[in-house]
Structure 1
Amino acid sequence: MNSKTTLSSFLPLSLVFILISSFSGFGQNKQPNLVSSYKEYTELPREIAYAHLNKTTYLKGEILGYTAYIFDKGNHQLSKTATNVYCTLSDENNKIVKSEMILAHNGVASGSFQIDSLFTSGKYIFRAYTNWMRNFDEQNYYVQTIQILDSNTENIPQTEERNSTIDAQFLPEGGHFVTDVTNSVGVIVKDNKGLGIPYMSAKVVDSKDNTLTDFKTNGFGIGKFIFTPQSNEIYNVILDGSVQKFPIKNIENDGIAITMNDVDNKVALSFRTNQSTLKQIKNQKYTLAIHNGEVLKTVDLTFGKSQEVVKVINYEDLTSGINIFTLFNENNNPILERLFFKYDGIELLSAENPSTSATKDSLTITIPISKVDKRLFNNFSVSVLPEETKSYNPNNNIISETYLQPYIKGYVEDAAYYFTDVTRKKKFELDNVLLTQGWSSYDWNTIFNHPPKADYEYENGISFRANVNKNSRSEYMMYATSNNEMELFDLEEGDKDFGAVGLYPMDSEVLRFSSVKKNNHIERPNLYLQFSPSRIPDLNQSGDIPPLIEKKEMDTYSAQNTLKPSWENMEHLEEVVIQGNKKLSREDQLTRTAFGKVKIVDDQTRKSYVYFADFIRSQGFKVFESGGKLVIYNPRPVSFGQGATITSPGTLSGSSNTFVKQKTVIVYLNNVPLKNTDFLYKYTLDDIDYITFDKSGTSEGGLGAAGVIKIYTDPLKAQSKMERNVSQDINVPLSFSSPKKFYAPEYSSYNGFFFRDFGVIDWFPNLKVTENGTLNFTIARPKINNISVFIEGTANDGSFISERKNISIEQPDKSTP
């Protein structure tokens, strides 16, 4: 049902559920149907990327740690399908200095970049995105400016001074100045660095320098004023302390102006026009669309005798987050647009006061997190820095990046401010910001005429196509990798290629292949593989990049050798150390996590036993081989559950024969159960890394009473090129970067201003809430008294947290022995 009430009407809205929307100026040509165009434009689902960086100002020698979160744009929940996440660091000329692909699980991935000799002092741009995001014009990817300082150069960090250049913009609400109508005007006053000039007073004057009104910008250089322009008059704005006059341009004699007011859980939209325009548009049908890229609602609007039409919309008719109001004329041309943010309905988590437990060398921090459903996936990233740090200044937090940034054309300075400790004042300030935004990130020309296409595929891991040179029937085996099981490819006669999708090779892992013959002998194949993706894709989007927010009153520091690089202390995490310096052997390590006994297959074992069957016999199993068949039995006495009891008539009258039909041993190859062990006939040990033996069958319950053997191959631990070469190793051009342990560097001093301002204490990219509802983590005991913990994260399929907690630490009494 469409409402045609003109004054103070509460709207029953017609709803059309779809998926994305809006912006742009048009001529008078008739546009296609609004609803069908919008539906087509929003048909493809969108993702949003957010990255929590451990800080935004780095010293050479530190590590940039980050956690990337990929959300479904429609429901703001973590993506269940995204895997390939690309992260890049570019210089100010947009040249990529470092990049990596990281693997997301449940929409979360973490990684790091070493700030090493490839970097010099200056600004760099961090980006996080997926290949799928490249299909859309909206900024669904994440971007953050960072600063890198070289402590060996002179006078760092020398903060750039703001010069006298001022950029002042005066933006009419809805997009148009109209004469003889009350106009609401948003103001943005920026310096040469693109940052708002705070608390600047100004006045609006006419051609005779008569002051019509005055205003003052807030802490971000945002202001607002109301005035009614007249035809054939010139208006300027004069800023205090400036002799320059800033003209108010593009005042139109015909048009419609809009004013929005948020009162008592209702949004009132006032559409005003002048007398000359009313004569042209009287009784024409206009359409007010309310949309957010997920839901489209429309209502009719018509100017009758009055020059003002008011529509009042209840909060329950709006969606949580951004709501975009667009007015269309009878030709479906958009003529004005206004953005509004509804805070209600956004689920926020809160962190309670931390508690600590200290030892001589470490500090364990416990932070209760309220309202977390521990049955659902959650992830929290935590940066630990000195309390007085000047190095943590992200423009967005997880809430603003998810609910605000993708819907606006440019950027909002310090957008995180509006979603931290939210107050009525901050809500009012955000509305003033949105007044200055004009059109949203959705271009109406694109919506009507150029809907997005899936030119860039949705990636799930790595895929390949392998070309073969044989026309006869053949079989190929791809060995297991750290994230994928072994796979067999059976090619029919005439097949020229085969392929696989959903592979997740890590770091320098290779793919290993063997050709399997009819007698189960394996040989080295000669395959040529083509991979997708094979390189980091270019984002190819040039949206506005917010400048780095800098703390005021930055100190200047003389050059000094301030730290030892973080990675110089890195150690291999595979090694398990016990009893001081005693190290567990790899066989012992594997035994700790496996059922039964573990045997490493080394070169000496391969020389002693050519075939798998021979080695299995040496471990006490019975193996029967004949005519390409292979069966393995456990020779130990039959026990309960090991086989079925078979009873048959005996030779003597009334007698019977009873025996147990022995079960065969269950065999796994790279965690894949073999339905037929004939595959192991004449199988060599060349590619076997280790084997586990569970003669009791405990690992399989009752099903494994005959015993379980698990065979593991490992392409990273290939045979040492003995007499035979039966496999082909193929390098993967682009693999996933595995998460590295974060190390804080060693600083020359922990007492001075330098560490206080720019030092790092620790970083935790993937914390989970415990059963007690707390975040627990342990850091090396800080050498300072006050630290800050910066928490970002999500839980409950759509709840968010972005908080800072300050912690005071009591230092140990040095006089105590």
Structure 2
Amino acid sequence: MKYKHLFLFIFLLSISPIFSQQEKNIEDEYSAYFTLPRESLYLHLNKTSYFSGEEIWFKGYTYDQKNQLTSKATSNINVGIYDAEGKQFKKALFKAENGAMQGSFKIDSTFSAGTYYIKAETNWMKNFKENDAYIQKIEIFTEQVAKKDIVTKKERFDFQFLPEGGHMVADTKNAIGFKAINENGKGVVASGIVYDENKNEVASFEGNSLGMGKFLFQPKANHQYTAEVKLENRTLQTVVLPKSKERGISMIVNNPFPDKIIINFNTNNETLANNPSKKYKVLIHQNGNLKTIALNFDTTEKTISVLKKDLFKGVNTITVFDNNENPVLERLFFNDYFVKKANINISKLNTTNDSILFSINKLNLEENANISISVLPEVTKSYNPKHNILSNFHLKPHIKGFIENPQYYFQDMDRKKKYELDILLLTQGWSRYDWNDIFGSKPNGLNRFENGITVHGKVNRPNSGVKRIFLYATKNQPASFIDLNENQEFTIDNFFLEQGEEIRFSHMNNKGVFKKPSMYLRFNVSNNKDYISDVLLENSQTTQTETINFTVPDNFFYEDSQLLDAVVVVKNRNEVYKDPILVNAKVTDFTEQEYNRFINITDFINYNGYKVSEQLGKVSIITRRAPKAAPVIYFDNVRITDFSILFNLSSFNIERVVIDRTGVGEGVNAGFGGVIKIYTRKTPLFKKGDVSKMYVSSKAPYAFAVTKTYYSPNYTSYRSNTFQKYGAIAWIPELKLTKTQASNFKVYDTRTKNITLFIEGISESGDLISEKRTIQVR
């Protein structure tokens, strides 16, 4: 019996590797790694170079990478300004609605001249090892020297050979990519000749203006090859090619066709002899979506053709696995089959007073779209973003290295641009998603989607007997009663409180009068001080095409100009309130007389032509005359459909009631029940009273930034060279394009002859829009 147990134990040990290998299913592991949806962010800035006193305006777009649609899961967008070393300088919270948000930062006296970075991210992004935060370099100029003088450096170059798929295989065809860059990471033109050990020419190559290219090469086993490379400054370099592997397979991707992609796989006899099964697996994948193709070698060459409509929009990754399910080759390519060009059409309609009216529509998209527009002088040097929305969402999530001017490939994308993009993806090597991570631990989602602020509270006094508290209306939240648990605690989720705004609470005594409670409040929202790592700073650099070296004129802005955030109007005490909408409104301001006549607000409504019934905390209100109908009720300017908030509500808490039983002015929403508007008390009822004794108030330490309306800087001259290169004409953060008709927008007329519009946006079905249009306006 003992020997049987021993045999069983040995048998189980022998088959456990088989079971573990079977459990390591590539497709399942890959899908599990991308189970959680990944968000991306793009900020469309009005400029990337600013003067002290200007405002950094931006529009944010959120994107679901897997479904390639606007991401509406997150409302909280953290946007920060960081210094040249990546240290946090300023940070604010912005609210996204339907996948878009807008905001700004004032460039005040705390900024000094120099380089900064703007970064946008969400709390959900922290779940993933791959960083999807948006980062853009910006420059700030003050009235002193705007940029340091040029420092002359000795020119240095780096040249690399990058075999397609990751390696060269001896005695078979290989595609060899290459790139040549200078010390700033900018591509330089290069050409060269490949020689064998006997100095015989075996291949030649020539790169494009971006310093990249490819050529076909068939190395022999155990041979070393070198290349003489001629760079754009006419210097020569000798570069050794990577040594070829004696066994393996190579991959050559052909992607010039509109409807398909062709993949050539090559190997040698040595490989076939040492791989009895001759079986491989090819995965074509993107963000959790995948297609699996079996690869079997009958001869040393195998060709696979795949229809692009069966693949995924944007960058796809081809990964080849051997029969032990180890990844051996990888290559990125761009599938343009589903990418639509918007073909934005813009025309000038007319000039009226100090404004120019434009009409804009899209000619090639079937859905409505949401766009933003930066309007700058034609010769502007102030707009130099690293990415446009296409490169940011289609390219950036898949690349792990630095890319020079990635948006170039998506501007007026023609056959040449598509070829250059393919060379770029060849030379980028493997995707940024590491297979060790994919086969390892999976993202856990501990950092949740954030939608507003979570408010936790506890009523300390009265120390018992309080079952609910009254939450006063805020700009984004209606007034309501909040139920407490047995410990007089409560939680409010998804609360949107703006900077400077108070959250106020009262409890109601047995007479229905609001009283000030003693409370403990805690606000939960992610607000960790952070930094930008050196790697992300490096990848966020842009190539400086022109060195800036000038002094901002002392009189470039009017000295006495300033932005008025709000105008405060002081009301005359004798002025009678008049509702701006309702035509036949009866307005009642509640004084001591009304309070003594009507104990509760429902008593007052009942007296004014409505039938009110209250039972078990529910309130029903209908008209007394036929046809019987409920009124439209607004509570602190927020429409309420549940009238239970009025149950047992003392008129002591009410400052004004507006009633219009006809509802004329409200439109079809009023129906037959009329309109009632109720406003809670803001001033003391009694002469010696203090309304603040009715409620407790608090401000959140980290609340949502207030969205400002764009204003144009007050430049002293629109004809100066400084304005033409670095000034701003207009910023339109929110414009809806419909499929049925054109949209109009106005810009201030600066008398500039030609203007350039930088347009970014997204359609309802996820089609990305990025256009640059220059228009002659006079």
Smaller-chain TM-score range?
Answer: 0.7 to 0.9
Name which of 320, 339, 362 aligns with 1:346: 339
Name which of 443, 451, 456 aligns with 2:447: 456
2:580 corresponds to which residue? Answer: 592
What letter matches 1:696 in structure 2? T
Deviates more, 1:507-516 or 1:29-38: 29-38
What letter matches 1:228 in structure 2? Q
Aligned counterparts of 1:386 and 1:753: Cα–Cα separation in 2: 10
Whether 1:321 aligns to 2:277 is: no
Name which of 295, 302, 305 aligns with 1:301: 295
Q: Structure 2 vs 1, CA of residues 677 and 166 (structure 1 numbering), >3 Å: closer, same or farther?
A: closer
CA deviation profile, 1:74-117 (whole Å, cap 9, x unmatched): 22221233211121221221111122211111101001112222
What letter matches 2:734 in structure 1? N
Aligned counterparts of 1:71 and 1:674: Cα–Cα separation in 2: 35
What letter matches 2:238 in structure 1? K
Whether 1:312 aligns to 2:305 is: yes
Name which of 27, 35, 45 aligns with 1:35: 27
Cα distance, 1:506 vs. partner? 1.6
Q: Structure 2 vs 1, CA of residues 471 and 207 (structure 1 numbering), >3 Å: closer, same or farther?
A: farther
1:709 corresponds to which residue? Answer: 676
Cα distance, 1:29 vs. partner? 8.9
What letter matches 2:39 in structure 1? E
Task: Report if the CA contact (8 A) 1:144-1:546 is conserved.
Answer: no
2:625 corresponds to which residue? Answer: 643
2:406 corresponds to which residue? Answer: 415
Name which of 72, 79, 88 aligns with 2:80: 88
2:8 corresponds to which residue? Answer: none
What letter matches 1:743 in structure 2? Y
What letter matches 1:364 in structure 2? L
Deviates more, 1:609-618 or 1:451-460: 609-618
Aligned counterparts of 2:195 and 2:253: Cα–Cα separation in 1: 25
Q: Structure 2 vs 1, CA of residues 366 and 238 (structure 1 numbering), >3 Å: closer, same or farther?
A: same
Task: Report if the CA contact (8 A) 1:62-1:565 is conserved.
Answer: no
Aligned counterparts of 1:458 and 1:758: Cα–Cα separation in 2: 38
Q: Structure 2 vs 1, CA of residues 613 and 248 (structure 1 numbering), >3 Å: closer, same or farther?
A: farther
Deviates more, 1:316-325 or 1:704-713: 704-713
Aligned counterparts of 2:739 and 2:584: Cα–Cα separation in 1: 31
What letter matches 2:191 in structure 1? S
Deviates more, 1:240-249 or 1:35-44: 240-249
Whether 1:500 aligns to 2:485 is: no
What letter matches 2:443 in structure 1? P
Please list, as runs of the form range in 1=range in 2, the aligned pairs for 1:155-166 lying within 5 A after superposition. Answer: 156=147, 158=149, 163-166=154-157
Task: Report if the CA contact (8 A) 1:138-1:407 is conserved.
Answer: no
1:200 corresponds to which residue? Answer: 190
Cα distance, 1:461 vs. partner? 1.2
Cα distance, 1:720 vs. partner? 11
Whether 1:55 aligns to 2:47 is: yes
2:351 corresponds to which residue? Answer: 358
Task: Report if the CA contact (8 A) 2:52-2:109 is conserved.
Answer: yes
Deviates more, 1:50-59 or 1:717-726: 717-726
2:770 corresponds to which residue? Answer: 802
Whether 1:789 aligns to 2:757 is: yes
How many residues in Structure 1 have an aligned counterpart in Structure 2? 746
Aligned counterparts of 1:318 and 1:538: Cα–Cα separation in 2: 38
Aligned counterparts of 1:95 and 1:417: Cα–Cα separation in 2: 29
Task: Report if the CA contact (8 A) 1:612-1:683 is conserved.
Answer: no
2:728 corresponds to which residue? Answer: 760
Whether 1:224 aligns to 2:190 is: no
Aligned counterparts of 1:496 and 1:31: Cα–Cα separation in 2: 51
Aligned counterparts of 1:128 and 1:144: Cα–Cα separation in 2: 9
1:735 corresponds to which residue? Answer: 703
Cα distance, 1:292 vs. partner? 0.9
Q: Structure 2 vs 1, CA of residues 721 and 672 (structure 1 numbering), >3 Å: closer, same or farther?
A: farther
The normalised TM-score by structure 1 is 0.82
Cα distance, 1:434 vs. partner? 0.5
Task: Report if the CA contact (8 A) 1:390-1:551 is conserved.
Answer: no
What letter matches 1:592 in structure 2? P
CA deviation profile, 1:13-64 (whole Å, cap 9, x unmatched): xxxxxxxxxxxxxxx9998111221221121112221111112222222211
Aligned counterparts of 1:501 and 1:720: Cα–Cα separation in 2: 38
Q: Structure 2 vs 1, CA of residues 268 and 697 (structure 1 numbering), >3 Å: closer, same or farther?
A: closer
- Higher relative contact order, structure no. (Cα contacts within 8 Å, ≥ 6 residues apart): 1
**Percent of residue pairs bearing the same amino acid type:** 32
What letter matches 2:391 in structure 1? S
Whether 1:103 aligns to 2:95 is: yes
CA deviation profile, 1:143-202 (whole Å, cap 9, x unmatched): 22222223x2236475666641323222111011233333212222222222222x2334
Q: Structure 2 vs 1, CA of residues 228 and 371 (structure 1 numbering), >3 Å: closer, same or farther?
A: closer
What letter matches 1:684 in structure 2? F
Aligned counterparts of 2:158 and 2:616: Cα–Cα separation in 1: 83
Please list, as runs of the form range in 1=range in 2, the aligned pairs for 1:465-476 lying within 5 A after superposition. Answer: 465-469=456-460, 470-476=463-469
Aligned counterparts of 1:229 and 1:275: Cα–Cα separation in 2: 14
What letter matches 1:242 in structure 2? T
User: 1:495 is paired with a residue of what secondary structure?
Assistant: coil
User: 2:136 is paired with a residue of what secondary structure?
Assistant: strand
Q: Structure 2 vs 1, CA of residues 742 and 131 (structure 1 numbering), >3 Å: closer, same or farther?
A: same
What letter matches 1:112 in structure 2? S
Task: Report if the CA contact (8 A) 1:511-1:729 is conserved.
Answer: yes
Task: Report if the CA contact (8 A) 1:143-1:545 is conserved.
Answer: no
CA deviation profile, 1:284-303 (whole Å, cap 9, x unmatched): 42111111114211121123
Cα distance, 1:700 vs. partner? 8.8
What letter matches 1:757 in structure 2? K
What letter matches 2:342 in structure 1? L
User: 1:177 is paired with a residue of what secondary structure?
Assistant: coil
- The RMSD of aligned alpha carbons is 3.9
Cα distance, 1:766 vs. partner? 0.4
2:476 corresponds to which residue? Answer: 483
Please list, as runs of the form range in 1=range in 2, the aligned pairs for 1:505-524 lying within 5 A after superposition. Answer: 505-524=497-516
Whether 1:368 aligns to 2:361 is: yes
Deviates more, 1:548-557 or 1:133-142: 548-557
Cα distance, 1:574 vs. partner? 6.2
Name which of 718, 728, 735 aligns with 1:750: 718
Cα distance, 1:244 vs. partner? 4.5
What letter matches 2:121 in structure 1? Y
Aligned counterparts of 1:319 and 1:664: Cα–Cα separation in 2: 52
Q: Unaligned regions of 5+ residues in structure 1, if any?
A: 1-27, 577-581, 635-639, 646-661, 811-817
Q: Structure 2 vs 1, CA of residues 158 and 269 (structure 1 numbering), >3 Å: closer, same or farther?
A: same
Deviates more, 1:187-196 or 1:755-764: 187-196
CA deviation profile, 1:269-312 (whole Å, cap 9, x unmatched): 122223333322242421111111142111211234x2222222
Aligned counterparts of 2:174 and 2:66: Cα–Cα separation in 1: 34
Cα distance, 1:69 vs. partner? 0.6
Cα distance, 1:501 vs. partner? 0.7
Name which of 160, 163, 167 aligns with 1:176: 167
1:561 corresponds to which residue? Answer: 554
Q: Unaligned regions of 5+ residues in structure 2, if any?
A: 1-19
Whether 1:613 aligns to 2:595 is: no
Aligned counterparts of 1:557 and 1:369: Cα–Cα separation in 2: 40
1:649 corresponds to which residue? Answer: none
Name which of 721, 735, 744 aligns with 1:776: 744
Task: Report if the CA contact (8 A) 1:667-1:710 is conserved.
Answer: yes
Aligned counterparts of 2:132 and 2:401: Cα–Cα separation in 1: 12
2:425 corresponds to which residue? Answer: 434
Q: Structure 2 vs 1, CA of residues 567 and 595 (structure 1 numbering), >3 Å: closer, same or farther?
A: farther
Name which of 225, 250, 256 aligns with 2:249: 256
What letter matches 1:68 in structure 2? G
Whether 1:280 aligns to 2:236 is: no
Please list, as runs of the form range in 1=range in 2, the aligned pairs for 1:262-273 lying within 5 A after superposition. Answer: 262-264=255-257, 265-273=259-267
Name which of 386, 394, 403 aligns with 2:394: 403
Aligned counterparts of 2:144 and 2:312: Cα–Cα separation in 1: 51
1:4 corresponds to which residue? Answer: none
Aligned counterparts of 2:509 and 2:499: Cα–Cα separation in 1: 31
Cα distance, 1:543 vs. partner? 4.0
